[in-house]
Amino acid sequence: MLPEDSRQKLKQYLALLRKWQCSINLVSPATLDHAWERHFEDSLQLAALIPEEAVLFDLGCGAGFPGLVLAIARPDIKVTLIESDTKKCTFLSTVSRETMTPVSVVNQRIESAVTDSIPTIITARALASLDKLLGYVMPWAKANPDLVLLFLKGRQAADEVTDALRLYDFTYEMVPSRTDSEAQIVRISNLREKSDG
C-alpha cells in the first residue's frame, strides 16, 4: 500500500503528464485516458521486487515509466533516468522538481551515457528486444557482477528470452504481470557474455 504522500505525488505527476501530452508526445495517445492503469500501476508493480537502498538506472525512460514512478514510491532508492530525447528530459526534470522527488536525469543515448555511480538494479519498459537490452547493460554488468535487471515485457517475453540466451548467459525468472494477463516481468541476474566453446 502506497503512503498518502506518494499517492499525492503520483496524482500530481499524472496531471503534469496530461498537460504536457498536449505539446509533446510522451505516451501513446490511445493510452492517455487509462494512464493510471496502463503506465503508473504497471510501473508500481516493480516496487516490491527492488531491494532497500538500491541504485536504480532506468533506460530509455521516456515519460518516466517505470523509473520516476519508482523514485516516488520508493524514496529509499537512488534513481537515475537515462533518456536521449531532450524534451522528455525537460518533462522528467519538471516532474522531479514539482513533486520534490530527487532523481538524476541523464540526457544521453544509453550506449554513451556517462554516470557517476554503478547500478545495482536496471529497469526498462517498452524500449527494445531483450538481446538489445542486454547489449546495452553489459558494461554495467561487468562493473557489478551482482547486477539485477527488471524488464517489463509483453506476450513475446518467452521468445525474447530464448533469443537472448543464444548470445548471453544469464539466470532468469518470469514474474507474471499484475496489470496485463499477457505480459511478464523478466528478472535477470548473473549476466555474462557467452564464452566461446
- Residue by residue, pLDDT tens for the chain (197 residues) are 789 999 999 999 999 999 999 999 999 999 889 999 999 999 999 999 999 999 999 999 999 999 999 999 999 999 999 999 999 999 999 999 999 999 999 999 999 898 889 999 999 998 999 999 999 999 999 999 999 999 999 999 999 999 999 999 999 999 999 999 999 999 999 999 987 64
| Greatest C-alpha distance within the chain | 55
The Cα–Cα gap between 111 and 158 comes to 25
Q: What pLDDT is stored for residue 193 in this prediction?
A: 93
- Other C-beta atoms lying within 10 Å of the C-beta of residue 52: 7
Class of domain 4-193: alpha beta
pLDDT at 116: 81
- Which pLDDT belongs to residue 38? 92
Angle of CA points 50, 54, 60, to nearest 5°: 80
Quote the Cα angle for 191-196-197, to 5°: 115
Predicted local distance difference test score (pLDDT) of residue 197? 47
The string of DSSP letters for 157-178 reads HHHHHHHHTTTEEEEEEEEE-S
Instruction: Report which of 172, 152, 150 is spatially closest to residue 161, judged by C-alpha positions.
Output: 172
Instruction: For cell 549476466, name the residue.
Output: 191
